[in-house]
Amino acid sequence: MSGTAIAIIAAVVLVILGALVLFGASRRRDSQTLLSRETIKKDKSDSTFLEPGPTGRDVERAAQVAYREPGTAVEAVADTGDTSPVLYAPVDPEVLGVTRRQFFNRSMVTMMGVGLGGFGASMLAFLWPGKSVGFGSTVQVGTLENVFAQIDQGNQPLYVSEGRFYLSRYPADSITKADKVYGAELAGMKAGLVALYQKCVHLGCRVPFCTTSQWFECPCHGSQYNRVGEQKGGPAPRGLDRFAIDTSGGKVAVSTAAVIIGPPKGTNTTGQEAEGPHCITSAAHH
């Protein structure tokens, strides 16, 4: 089980436990008698007066019945023929206190429940494994046709920042040589594309493409790689690392979850030489 799944389960359990505790607390308060703890203790210790008082629920129920049938008492008075006004009877402060306390208790429980529920929901939303995009997942670049068009139009590999790679054309007439060197990336090469990780295999700088030489040239220490990422010069110990490409259905999908280590130094399947002046004078070899 993954860490995320455990975190989600823990969050759900916490929220349920919290809700149970709150529910239990509210029930306990509702069923408490009107007598205080000391009074009950005193009653128990010195007399036969052991009857517990009415519960909060009883009082509330009685109040509700009285509220629903307000006419009963008045009618009884009217029946006697007495027309004098009924005297104001003050509300029993104890009854009032109980209902008010219940009101506060319940609103508190409701508010805490809502808060806890909201917290749980946001935790779940945060931890829920969403469909990941970008580097580390499979990056959908578009149709094969469209990718070729963009490369040709720009006269340089297509840079996909989302996946931190370049898509470069791989010449069809070099496939026989590539067959002997490459593995998982071969399928994409056969479709005419290679996905090169932008990170220099020397010390990790981002390697830009030099449009004049038509090579990748690292500004940090002058490593050079040809258009398909094979090492041509500088301190880089191998060719550029790469990613597997899936072109099924004419769509280009690059899996950046696993980096394929670049080909060893000296690999040269295309024989492409620099096509113009270099962008980086590879003077600073370390």
**Separation of CA 172 from chain center:** 42
How many whole angstroms separate alpha carbon 178 and alpha carbon 192? 12
Could you tell me which stretch among 42-50, 56-64, 103-111, 228-236 binds ligand FES (CB under 6 A)?
228-236
Q: Quick check: 259 binds ligand FES (CB under 6 A)? A: no
User: Is 279 a binder of ligand FES (CB under 6 A)?
Assistant: no
Pick between residue 221 and residue 242 the one whose CB is nearest to ligand FES. Answer: 221
Q: Please identify which residue in the block is written with the tokens 């005193």.
A: 42
In the numeric block, which tokens belong to residue 169?
């054309």
- Given a contact cutoff of 8 angstroms between Cβ atoms, the answer to whether 37 and 49 are in contact is no
In terms of CB distance, is 170 or 225 closer to ligand FES?
225
Distance, CA of 219 to CA of 198 (rounded, Å): 13
Applying CB under 6 A, the span of 128-136, 189-197, 209-217, 230-238 interacting with ligand FES comes to 230-238
The residue (of 221 and 232) whose beta carbon lies closer to ligand FES is 221
Q: Which of residues 93-122 bind ligand FES (CB under 6 A)?
A: none
Between 170 and 216, name the residue whose CB sits nearer to ligand FES: 216
Between CA 128 and CA 101 the distance in angstroms is: 40
Q: Is 232 in the site for ligand FES (CB under 6 A)?
A: no
Per the CB < 8 A criterion, the answer to whether 205 and 148 are in contact is no
Span near ligand FES by CB under 6 A; candidates 66-74, 137-145, 196-204, 237-245: 196-204
CA–CA separation, 224 vs 230, rounded Å? 8
Sheet order of strands, 158-160 included: 138-143, 251-260, 242-246, 193-197, 165-169, 158-160
Minimum distance of ligand FES from residue 277's CB (angstroms): 19
195 binds ligand FES (CB under 6 A): no
- Residue 111, token pair as written in the block: 């508010």
The residue (of 245 and 280) whose beta carbon lies closer to ligand FES is: 280
Stretch that binds ligand FES, among 38-46, 132-140, 197-205, 259-267 (CB under 6 A): 197-205
| φ, ψ of residue 200 in degrees (nearest 5) | -65, 135
- Taking the complex as a whole, how short is the minimal distance between the CB of residue 267 and ligand FES, in angstroms? 17
Binding site for ligand FES (CB under 6 A): 200, 202-205, 218, 220-223, 234-236
